[in-house]
Every structure is written in C-alpha cells, then in structure tokens.
Amino acid sequence: MTFDSAFEQPDEFDVLTTGVPSVSPLQTMFAWASEHLRATRPGSFDVEDIGRLAYESLPEGEERDKAFGELLYTYWEASLADEATLAHSETLREQRQELRELLGRFQDLAESSSPVPYALLADIARLSLPLMGSAS
C-alpha cells in the first residue's frame, strides 16, 4: 500500500494487511464451490462444474461482471504461459539434440583413444548445465 501524502499515516489495519494478497469474489466462490462439490458429490464433478457453480453463485451485477473479466484475463494469461512453455520446450529439445551429437563425437574420440578437444568438453558442459537445471 502506498500513501501519497506525507501527512497521511497508515492505520493499524493498513499495517496488518500490507503485503497480504487480495482475494477476488470469484476466487472465494471458486474455493467454496470446490469444497461444496467435494462434500456433496465426491469424485463426480470436474473443474467446469466448480467454475459454473462459483460463477452462478456470485450476485448479478458488478461482481459477476468483474468475475467475467477475471476469467477472460486468466484465460489470456494462461494462453501466454502455454506459448512460453512450448517455446521453452522447443529450445530444450534443440539443446538435447545438439548435446546428443556432441556426446556422440566425444564417445567416438574416447573409443579411438584420440585426444578430446577442450572446446568439445566446453560445449558439452554449456549444454548440459541448463538441461540439468543447474545453470545460472
């Protein structure tokens, strides 16, 4: 929470709630609907049932309009995340293929007792670390 005026002091509520994420009515109703369906229909519902019950349980008007906007925004963000995940997956696939080729060259050199060039080892390390998740 920010205060524009140098004279405005946060009250105790502001201090206690600073940094606490706000929860939208849709999030609240979604949690309620999930719990409700688990209790009343264990194993016989899906996420669409939860979403519909949550949305329909919101009062008509502003809260429902905001929830609809939240659903659209969430869908958009999920679409962007999917695109990023697919792009990252493709990058990793290409890196794995390049690493396989380099490891094949390394194996050929090692089996023939030929010296392994430092640049080959450096390339193997460069590709291995990100694929193992330990690169910075």
Query: In this structure, which amino acid lies at residue 95?
Result: Q
Span 5-28, average pLDDT: 81
H helices present in 1-136, as ranges: 12-17, 25-40, 47-57, 62-111, 118-132
Look at residue 116 and give its three-state secondary structure: coil
How do residues 41-86 score in pLDDT, each as one tens digit?
998 999 999 999 999 999 999 999 999 999 999 999 999 999 999 9
Q: Is the pLDDT of residue 22 over 50?
A: yes
pTM of the model: 0.57
**Res. 13 pLDDT band, cuts 50 70 90:** confident
